[in-house]
């Protein structure tokens, strides 16, 4: 598409960082997406914040903030010497619930030992913008520093917002992504009581036996850069960002609109924003949470958009679980790696087809990726929908 004619700069992905139960770092993460799935909750069990935060900094940062800083710094290290004008470097980092672990622990402390024992760092540790703020302060980036808090769509919508900062010429470079660390006693009880969690403890996206999601955690970050800026420093380019969109179902606080109407509208608008058509899409990284209603609604939307057969579709949540506000960020990293490595990871956990779902699901192992455009979807409680579009970079 003619970006200059549309008043935009071309935006490319030059750096990736990830903290996930599938692996910490790009190689471990992408290899881990081919399974097998971890047992139980999808915790990042071997995470050590010390490479990115000293002891005092780590003690004063909630786990979600630690994930944010680690993923962002890994992405920047991966991108190489970006060296932007600080005033033209932006940070957009999302989360669903922010510092929930700190909040729960401090409430328990107050009940047990009184209000004087509550940490003076509670507020800066629990606030949702702590991740974005910590990244910008660490890097000295003085451009827009924003936080998207749109439940499970937050990671994808953060990448979209970062993309727009660069495409609109406001920034030369921006980091987009998200982080979450919400595997806490109260959160798990709440999600369980609302019957959102899998009673079997298995994440089975689009499978006939799917019965809810498995809680995950982690963080993902993408360095998005003006193509001219990237070329000037001879940067490695994973993929090109073409466009993005967001819509609202305006239907129900937790359930998707019937027939996937909101999801379909979001994908159509993203394609329009990217200046391409459905026929240009060669892969979809689906939201695919393993919940009965959401998987069905997304499948219906994909079938309406593409007809039959659909492009190859995968959900990585069979391995990663559902990490709420970090989910779209992890999937954004997976999408860029899919394009760069020309391999689509499988939908781990899928075994038994659902007669109501007719998707070309990638199962059983990786599949070769055909050059073209990729949609990455996220849909959140509250009816928030987000779609980003990436493609194979062509000089």
Q: pLDDT tens, 214-265?
A: 999 999 999 999 999 999 999 999 999 999 999 999 999 989 998 999 999 9
Q: What is the pLDDT of residue 7?
A: 78
In the predicted model, what is the mean pLDDT of residues 279-283? 98
Segment 68-97 mean pLDDT: 98
Residue at 153 is within a domain: yes
For range 197-219, the mean pLDDT: 97
Active site residue 322: yes
- Asked whether residue 1 is domain-assigned, the answer is no
Q: Give the CATH number of the domain where residue 310 resides.
A: 3.40.47.10
Q: How high is the pLDDT of residue 6?
A: 66
Asked about 3 being catalytic, the answer comes back as no
| Mean local confidence (pLDDT), 210-215 | 97
Which pLDDT does position 203 carry in this prediction? 97
Model confidence pLDDT, tens digit, residues 298-312: 999 999 999 999 999
Q: Is 308 a catalytic residue?
A: no
Q: Is the pLDDT of residue 25 over 80?
A: yes
Provide the domain count of the chain: 1
Q: How far apart are the first and last CA of the chain?
A: 12
Mean pLDDT of 28-37: 96
Is 165 a domain residue?
Answer: yes
- Assess if residue 4 is contained within a domain: no
Banded pLDDT at 40 (limits 50, 70, 90): confident
Mean pLDDT of 127-155: 98
Percentage of the chain lying above the pLDDT 90 cut? 96
pLDDT at 213 over 60: yes
pLDDT tens digits for 310-365?
999 999 999 999 999 999 999 999 999 999 999 999 999 999 999 999 999 999 99
Domain that holds residue 124: 11-391
- For the cut 70, the answer to whether the pLDDT of residue 4 exceeds it is no
Catalytic residue among 229, 283, 287, 384: 287
Instruction: State how far the alpha carbon of 44 is from the alpha carbons of 41, 70, 130, 195, 328, in Å.
Output: 9, 13, 20, 24, 17
Q: Report the pLDDT value the prediction gives residue 49, as an integer from 0 to 100.
A: 98
pLDDT at 5 over 50: no
Residue 39 has a pLDDT of 86
Residue identified by tokens 């058509």 is: 277
Which is the catalytic residue, given 145, 152, 171, 266?
A: 152
Q: Look at residue 1 in the predicted model and tell me its pLDDT.
A: 52
Nearest to 150 by CA among 72, 247, 220, 259: 247
Residue 2 falls inside a structural domain: no
Mean pLDDT of the chain: 96
Statement: residue 32 has pLDDT above 70: yes
Q: Is residue 6 assigned to a domain?
A: no
Listed in sequence order, the DSSP H helices in the chain are 26-32, 55-59, 63-79, 100-113, 122-126, 130-139, 154-167, 185-193, 227-232, 261-274, 292-306, 317-320, 327-341
Catalytic hit among 266, 322, 384, 391: 322
């Amino acid at each position: 598409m003619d970006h200059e004619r549309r008043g935009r700069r071309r935006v490319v992905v030059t750096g990736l960082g990830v903290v996930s139960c599938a692996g910490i770092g790009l190689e471990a993460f992408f290899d881990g997406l081919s399974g097998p799935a971890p047992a139980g909750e999808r915790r990042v069990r071997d995470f050590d914040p010390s490479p990115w935060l000293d002891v005092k900094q780590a003690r004063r940062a909630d786990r979600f903030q630690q994930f944010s800083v680690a993923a962002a710094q890994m992405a920047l290290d991966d991108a190489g010497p970006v060296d932007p004008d600080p005033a033209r470097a932006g940070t957009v980092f999302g989360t669903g619930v922010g510092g929930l672990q700190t909040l729960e622990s401090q409430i328990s402390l107050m009940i047990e030992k009184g209000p004087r024992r509550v940490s003076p760092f509670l507020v800066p540790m629990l606030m949702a913008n702590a991740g974005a703020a910590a990244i910008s302060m660490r890097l000295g980036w003085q451009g827009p520093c924003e936080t998207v808090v749109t439940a499970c769509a937050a990671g994808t919508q953060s990448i979209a917002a970062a993309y727009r900062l660069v495409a609109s010429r406001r920034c030369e470079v921006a980091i987009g992504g998200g982080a979450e660390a919400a595997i806490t006693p109260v959160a798990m009880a709440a999600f369980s009581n609302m019957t959102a969690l899998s009673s079997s403890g298995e994440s089975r996206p689009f499978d006939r036996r799917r019965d809810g999601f498995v809680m995950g955690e982690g963080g993902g970050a993408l360095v998005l850069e003006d193509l001219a800026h990237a070329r000037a420093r001879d940067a490695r380019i994973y993929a090109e960002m073409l466009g993005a969109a967001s819509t609202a179902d305006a239907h129900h606080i937790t359930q998707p609109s019937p027939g996937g109407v909101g999801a379909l509208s979001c994908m159509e608008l993203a394609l329009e924003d990217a200046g391409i058509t459905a026929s240009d899409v060669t892969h979809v990284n689906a939201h695919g949470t393993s919940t009965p209603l959401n998987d069905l609604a997304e499948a219906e939307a994909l079938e309406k958009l593409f007809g039959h057969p659909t492009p190859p579709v995968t959900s990585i949540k069979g391995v990663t679980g559902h990490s709420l506000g970090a989910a779209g960020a992890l999937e954004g990293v997976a999408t860029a790696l899919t394009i760069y490595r020309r391999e689509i990871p499988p939908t781990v956990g899928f075994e038994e087809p659902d007669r109501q779902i007719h998707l070309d699901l990638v199962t059983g192992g990786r599949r070769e990726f055909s050059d073209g455009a990729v949609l990455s979807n996220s849909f959140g409680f509250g009816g928030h929908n987000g779609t980003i579009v990436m493609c194979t970079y062509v000089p």
